[in-house]
A = this chain, B = another copy of it.
């Protein structure tokens, strides 16, 4: 996290130098001084322009060095090639917080990369913090400060925004409902989200935090900051660049499943962030979090002027995991009184038939207030119409709904209205900030579900980082790993698992046929034979696997045959021997794996194993360290867990030992960062035990 002092200099400095500011003003001039003045900035402003003179009534200094004090902050708003010199001047002046607006550094050519590295070196020597480059900087509507060179329509809201692109700055009124405090980290060469999240989370003026993330440097640091922030207030993240185009093709099963975006998704979920898929969903969540401080539960009441629309609301609630409230007796009794005899009453309430007898406004008000008074209702979706010009409209219920909301602040009301005047009615609904309008019932239910999710599934859960004890097997593992790189021999992989308490089907290494027979007798038939060779990764493809061998003669024949087979398919491969292994039947085939992610470090994988791994992709991911509860969640997230739990007459598997295996695996990969990839597939789950049949461990090539 940025120090309090640096954060102040960044977000609301007492003085700021606008270095390289243009002397042009007015339409199209993109003059940050003009914008800063419009924001009503109260601190001291020092424009710097080589020509000197005066800009908008402010004296312009020809160099930063001429400024009579050391400003809290500098914004370098000159073209790229001028930046290194201007930055050196800022450093020489002793300025500790510098924003750089220009493009063309890490996002540009080799020259740009060199310039940025040079700047970062100076910054590191002098203890200067940098925002950007390629940033519109800071927009602080709460304290009146803005570094953007672009003007824009800028309503103030209670939203804190961290972003990496100007689209979120100038588009914030549309995308985020406005700005409380926004920081655009641009190329994010130094100051990053994890430096800022904690400050936003602790600013009582902000009710919800938004992140627009394109990339990330330090996943673990980010996760710590995100967990901390999400415990304090709702954090909504829009991660872009989620399509697979840019992601490197992974080299193993787990890898290809743990596509980069799925890892981000896992990290966000583990931290309690709410991830959205587009700008509208972001806006929708900002509205509901800015308006309501909580929600009692997920039981929704629906009141509608149209039966057809009420059905849409029910579908939408069901889609987002909300429950249709079962109305209590007083509510049902009231409806029984008000509705004609032929009508079916219940939730959703199609209030139209009752309104024929009691008048529209009276009926809407009575029933809505009954729903809000009902202890079995946690929130209400109001459906009204807006198909007439205001002056001709005899069905306007916006005021009734606002009044009901004012009288029942503990129960969120969201509204949808249909008809040609919906935009006008939308504004009417939100006039007193106690009702939120949505453009569709789908979006209304989705937003309600987000509100529920944050307050009941995220905030109430104590998402704390876990620390795992050392595993006693680590001493042995270190010996095995010492000096090795690349793919480990299977026997080493087996020994590592065993050291960490992950059971492996009984095995012995045989260097010749006689040893093979004597090992098989010790293990007991049936057995399998698997070639052990540093040159062969895919043993089956090389003819290096024989399963279910029932006796000594069969074993001898198979051994002989395999040697020939391998010699034909992989001539010259170095053969260390053959692994003779207990052959097991039955059980549920699982996969336990791990792949090191460039941002987040080791990522664990659990799911359906064997031939189905790639087909059904029934894999859950988690970034360790993990609590026992998180491991249980990880297991339960998969479909195959239903079989482990005894679905369809299957025998229940021993989940406890499976959990222990996952804990061991996470200890193993955290304690041994040279492990870049692991696959234990299949590992078989039985009612009494869990047993690995095959394992592959790859180490980083240079370590």
Q: A166-B308, A278-B316 are in contact. List 20 more A-B contacts (CB 8 A).
A: A104-B340, A108-B342, A108-B344, A109-B341, A109-B342, A152-B419, A153-B389, A153-B420, A164-B308, A167-B309, A170-B385, A171-B387, A173-B387, A173-B419, A240-B315, A278-B442, A279-B418, A423-B423, A540-B649, A611-B643
Mark each residue of chain A from 335 to 371: 1 if its CB lies under 8 Å from any CB of chain B, else 0. Answer: 0000011111000000011000000000000000000
A388 touches B153 (CB 8 A): yes
Determine the residue in chain B with the shortest Cβ distance to A134: B307
Residues of B within 8 A of A240 (CB): 308, 311-312, 315
| 1/0 contact string of A306-331 vs chain B (CB within 8 Å) | 11110110111111000010000000
Q: Is A428 an interface residue (CB 8 A)?
A: no
Decide: A419 near B243, CB < 8 A? Known: A153-B388, A306-B166, A308-B166.
no
Contact with B along A238-281 (1 / 0, CB 8 A): 00111111000000000000000000000000000000011110
Contact B104 A343 (CB under 8 A): yes
Q: How far is the CB of A397 from chain B (nearest CB, A)?
A: 14
Complex CA gap A137/B578 in Å reads 80
The reply to whether A27 and B394 form a contact with Cβ atoms under 8 Å apart is yes
- CB of A614 within 8 A of CB of B648, answer yes
20 A-B interface contacts by CB (under 8 A): A80-B342, A151-B388, A152-B419, A153-B388, A153-B389, A153-B419, A167-B308, A168-B308, A170-B385, A170-B418, A171-B418, A214-B311, A241-B314, A243-B315, A277-B319, A277-B442, A279-B312, A280-B443, A439-B439, A612-B612
CA distance A241 to B310 in the complex (A): 10
Q: Across the interface, which residues of B come within 8 angstroms of A103, CB to CB?
A: 352-353
* Mask: chain A, 140-168; 1 = CB below 8 Å from B; 0 = not: 00000000001111110000000111111
Considering the chains assembled together, what is the distance between the CA atoms of A164 and B421 in angstroms? 22
Q: With both chains docked as a complex, state the minimum distance between the C-beta of A673 and any C-beta of chain B, in angstroms.
A: 30
A113 to chain B, nearest CB (A): 10
State A640–B616 Cα separation when bound (angstroms).
8
Distance to closest chain B CB from A282 (angstroms): 10
Residues 94-121 of A at the B interface (beta carbon under 8 Å): 103-104, 107-109, 111-112
Task: Assess whether A615 is interfacial by the CB under 8 Å rule.
Answer: yes
A599 on interface, CB distance cutoff 8 Å: no
Contacts of A155 in B (CB 8 A): 420
* A396 CB → nearest B CB, Å: 11
Contact with A318, one of B107, B170, B245, B352 (Cβ below 8 angstroms): B245
Which B-chain residue is minimally distant from A442 (CB atoms)?
Answer: B278
Check: A57 CB closer than 8 A to any chain B CB: no
Q: Is the CB of A342 within 8 A of B153?
A: no
Tell me if B315 and A150 are in contact (CB < 8 A).
Answer: no
Q: Which residues of A in the span 405-423 have a Cβ within 8 Å of any Cβ on B?
A: 418-423
Expressed in whole angstroms, the minimum distance between the Cβ of A407 and any Cβ of chain B is: 27
CA distance A247 to B664 in the complex (A): 45
* Residues of B with C-beta under 8 A to A173: 387, 419-420
Task: Report the separation of the CA atoms of residues A572 and B389 in the bound assembly, to the nearest whole angstrom.
Answer: 75
At the interface, yes or no: A618 with Cβ under 8 Å from chain B? yes
**Interface residue A28 (Cβ < 8 Å from any Cβ of B):** yes
What's the minimum C-beta distance from A601 to chain B, rounded to whole angstroms? Answer: 25
Closest to A395 in B: B28
Closest residue of B by beta carbon distance from A238: B312
B241 touches A311 (CB 8 A): yes
User: Which residue of B has the minimal Cβ distance to A79?
Assistant: B356
Q: Does A440 interact with chain B (Cβ within 8 Å)?
A: yes
A648 to chain B: which residues have CB within 8 Å? 611, 614-615
Task: For A111, list chain B residues within 8 Å (CB).
Answer: 342
A580 lies within 8 A of chain B by Cβ: no
Q: Kindly list chain B residues whose C-beta atoms are within 8 Å of the C-beta of A334.
A: none
CA of A188 to CA of B694, assembled, Å: 62
Q: Is A122 an interface residue (CB 8 A)?
A: no
Q: Once the chains bind, are B650 and A171 in contact (CB under 8 Å)?
A: no
Minimal Cβ-Cβ distance residue in B for A173: B420
- In Å, the complex CA distance between A324 and B167 comes to 21
Q: Which A149-200 residues have a C-beta within 8 angstroms of B?
A: 150-155, 163-168, 170-171, 173-175
- Interface residue A642 (Cβ < 8 Å from any Cβ of B): yes
A535 is an interface residue with CB less than 8 A from chain B: no
CB of A230 to closest CB in B, whole Å: 23
B contact residues around A311 at 8 Å (CB): 165, 214, 240-241
Q: How far is the CB of A64 from chain B (nearest CB, A)?
A: 24
Cβ of A441 within 8 Å of any chain B Cβ, yes or no, is: yes
A639: Cβ under 8 A from any B Cβ: yes
Provide the A606-618 mask, 1 if CB < 8 A to any CB of B, else 0: 0000011011101
Is the CB of A541 closer than 8 A to any CB of chain B?
yes
Q: Is A530 an interface residue (CB 8 A)?
A: no
Q: Mark A514-552, 1 if CB is under 8 A from B, else 0.
A: 000000000000000000000000001100000000000
A392 CB-CB contact with B under 8 Å:
yes
**CB closest residue in chain B, given A445:** B278
> In the complex, are the beta carbons of A616 and B614 less than 8 A apart?
no
Chain B: minimal CB distance from A381 (Å) = 14
In the complex, the 6 A-B pairs of residues with the closest C-beta atoms, listed nearest first:
A165-B308, A153-B420, A171-B418, A108-B342, A243-B318, A278-B442
> Residue A227 at the B interface, CB < 8 A?
no
In the complex, chain B residues whose CB is within 8 Å of the CB of A278: 312, 316, 440-443
Q: How far is the CA of A354 from the CA of B66 in the complex (A)?
A: 34
Q: Does A56 contact B (CB under 8 A)?
A: no
Q: Does A696 sit within 8 A of B, measured CB to CB? A: no
Chain B residues lying within 8 Å of A541, measured Cβ to Cβ, are 649
Q: Is the CB of B614 within 8 A of A309?
A: no
Given the known interface contacts A104-B343, A164-B308, the answer about A419 and B615 at a Cβ–Cβ threshold of 8 Å is no
Q: Which residues of B have CB within 8 Å of A104?
A: 340, 342-343, 353
Flag whether A207 is at the interface (Cβ < 8 A): no
A25 CB-CB contact with B under 8 Å: no
